[in-house]
A = this chain, B = another copy of it.
């Protein structure tokens, strides 16, 4: 059970963006340099974030990205969703009537994994970008 780079970098990059987007758009190049993430990879990630309306782009020179909502309103959940980092614990298709064994009953562990999935998603639903930035600025004092 591990976090993938895509999810990790998306959150990292947005945390960076949230800290610096006060006045001007933030360029991916800057984020790339500050966070040590490949520029090409960032572009992939931000393309998805833009499509899900988490960020807005500003083209041209001096351009970059800005948050499309308040940091408080951007939950980790939204970010993960945008970059397709999904929490998947059950093996069966949830909406299907069939269990992972192909039978009509759910397997012995289905409920357990389902609980786990909820447990993890609760965490992601509660944490916002703001929490992240706050947490870090507090630490810097």
Answer yes or no: A135 CB below 8 A from chain B CBs.
Answer: yes
Answer yes or no: A85 CB below 8 A from chain B CBs.
Answer: yes
Asked if B109 contacts A11 (CB within 8 A), the reply is yes
Q: Which 3 pairs show the lowest CB-CB distances between chains A and B?
A: A2-B88, A15-B108, A3-B89
Chain B residue nearest to A133 (CB atoms) is B108
User: Please, could you name 18 A-B residue pairs with CB atoms under 8 Å apart, sorted by A?
Assistant: A1-B3, A1-B4, A1-B86, A1-B88, A2-B89, A3-B88, A3-B113, A8-B91, A8-B113, A11-B112, A12-B108, A12-B109, A35-B101, A36-B101, A36-B102, A112-B132, A116-B123, A119-B120
Chain A 83-110 interface mask (CB, 8 Å, partner B; 1/0) = 0011111010000000001100001110
Chain A 114-141 interface mask (CB, 8 Å, partner B; 1/0) = 0110011001000100001001100100
Complex formed: what's the CA distance from A36 to B105 in Å?
Answer: 14
Answer yes or no: A24 CB below 8 A from chain B CBs.
Answer: no
Residues of B contacting A115 in the complex (Cβ-Cβ under 8 angstroms): 123
Tell which of A2, A15, A91 has the most Cβ of chain B within 10 Å: A2
Answer yes or no: A7 CB below 8 A from chain B CBs.
Answer: yes
Given A8-B109, A111-B139, 12 other A-B residues pairs in contact with their CB atoms under 8 A: A1-B4, A1-B85, A11-B109, A12-B107, A15-B109, A16-B108, A35-B107, A35-B108, A76-B112, A109-B132, A111-B136, A116-B123
